[in-house]
Amino acid sequence: MRDMFEETVERLLAQELTHEVRIEAEAGRWPERLWSAIEENGLTLAAVSEARGGVGGTWHDAFVLIQAAGRHGAPGLLAETIAVNWLLDEVGLDPVAGPATLAIFEGGAEQGRFSGVLRDVPWLEASGHVLLAADGELLLFAVPREIGRSLNIAREPRDAARLEDATPVARAPLGALPGDVVLLAGAMIRSAQIAGGLSRLLDTAVDYANQRVQFGRSIGKFQSIQHQIALLAEHMSLATATAETAFALAATKISPFAVAAAKSVSSEAAGQGAAIAHAVLGAIGFTYEHSLHFTTRRLWAWRSEFGGQTYWAKRIGEGVCRAGGSGFWPQLVAGSVPA
């Protein structure tokens, strides 16, 4: 399943995700054509059971799709919609049609109606629905009318809105899912996107180093460049392995620790990897014309979203210290460190 997913998404994004689509999306235009192709290929239903009209892949299978979305810097809500539909499926709800997003909710409910604030929500204005967790339930809302817009470093919309006595269009108890499942899902997709973005950086850095000549030889022959790129490959590999582990475990049961580890590792790798790629590419990589920044700006944005490294590392550290030195290893092996 994973191979098929990967082939489909790579083919699709290679076809539809032109440089122009990227530039227009950063100027605020929703990538309509790309999105239609994504939906037609069933990618948004990747992790939805066949019984509910999905493709029947697991959340682990979906990892390669979200990684590819990160590798190509796909604008729009591919990653978020896959996650929303996976979570809906997990609690026994049907998937949504069209782009959907997910949000952390600060507020409360009165007689089944919800009021409160949604902040830093990916592409909220372009979404049909927004998913959130509150009061032990997973809740799906139509997107509110009034939207406050803001942009991350990659000029991806991170919107804000208020719910005022809003009624969900679908709801179901969280069941076995943790109360902060939306945050965990958001952190997982960002980790996978970062892993994908890092793989793009690595390809770019290797190609450039082999082709660029200085002091009479390709810069890829310089030990300093070689070592920096080796380090980039290490960051990429560690981020990818940690993120995939979080997805693989969550396909059975979400491990908040594995998610925290994935986001801590990938957020650190994002910064280090971007710095290395820019150092290798030098002045060329600092121009708007070169595509490098379409990846590095995303890495700089994604590392802070759904909790940055500090948030997640502290969660782990607090759990580890609570459990003490003797409990550490068995919990690490089981992926059950309290976090």
Partner 1 sequence: MVPSRFAYTRTPPEAEGFREEVRSFIAAEIGAISILDRADSWMGFDAAFSRKLGAAGLIGIAMPKRYGGRGAGAFARYVVSEELLAAGAPVSAHWIADRQSAPLLLRYGTEAQRERYIPGINQGTTYFCIGMSEPNSGSDLASIGTRAVRSGDGWVLNGRKIWTTNAHRSHFMIALVRTEGKSDDRHGGMSQFIIDLKAPGVTVRPITDLTGQEHFNEIFFDDVALDADALVGVEGNGWKQVMAELAFERSGPERFLSSHTLLGTTIDAVGPAPDALQAFHIGRLTAKLFGLRAMSLAVTAELDAGGDPAWAASCVKDIGTGLEQELPEVAQLLTDEEPRIGPGSDQAQVLAYLTQMAPSFSLRGGTREILRGILARGLDLR
The binder of 311, among a copy of itself, partner 1, none, by C-beta within 5 to 8 A per type, is partner 1
- Report residue 179 as tokens: 């109360």
In DSSP notation, 181-223 reads HHHHHHHHHHHHHHHHHHHHHHHHHHHHHHH-EETTEEGGGSH
Strand-pairing partners, residue 218, are 213
Task: Tell me which residue of 200, 197, 130 sits closest to 163, measured CA to CA.
Answer: 130
Tokens 């032990």, residue? 136
Cβ 224 to a copy of itself shortest distance, Å: 5
Nearer to a copy of itself, 15 or 224 (CB): 224
Q: Does the footprint of partner 1 cover residue 62 (CB under 8 A)?
A: no
Number of residues engaging a copy of itself in binding (CB under 8 A): 4
Nearer to a copy of itself, 171 or 221 (CB): 221
Could you say which of 278, 298, 336, 338 contacts partner 1 (CB under 8 A)? 278
Could you say which of 66, 285, 298, 336 contacts partner 1 (CB under 8 A)? 285
Tell which phi-psi region holds residue 84, choosing left (phi > 0), alpha (psi between -120 and 50) or beta. Answer: alpha
- Among residue numbers 125 through 154, which ones bind partner 1 (CB under 8 A)? 149-153
Q: 253 with 178: CB under 8 angstroms?
A: no
Q: 82 with 46: CB under 8 angstroms?
A: yes
Nearer to partner 1, 151 or 169 (CB): 151
The torsion of the CA quartet 154, 26, 65, 43, rounded to 10 degrees, works out to 150
Task: Tell me which residue of 249, 114, 102 sits closest to 183, measured CA to CA.
Answer: 102
Cβ 150 to a copy of itself shortest distance, Å: 23
The binder of 309, among partner 1, a copy of itself, none, by C-beta within 5 to 8 A per type, is partner 1
Cβ 226 to a copy of itself shortest distance, Å: 9
- Among residue numbers 167 through 226, which ones bind partner 1 (CB under 8 A)? 199, 202-203, 206, 209-210, 212-215, 218, 220-226
- Among residue numbers 205 through 244, which ones bind a copy of itself (CB under 8 A)? 222-224, 227
Query: Is 27 strand, coil or helix?
Result: coil
Stretch that binds partner 1, among 12-20, 31-39, 133-141, 229-237 (CB under 8 A): 229-237
The binder of 90, among a copy of itself, partner 1, none, by C-beta within 5 to 8 A per type, is none
d(CA 222, CA 218): 8
Q: How far apart are the first and last CA of the chain?
A: 31
Nearer to a copy of itself, 149 or 227 (CB): 227
- Among residue numbers 289 through 328, which ones bind a copy of itself (CB under 8 A)? none
Which residues here bind a copy of itself, judged by CB under 8 A? 222-224, 227
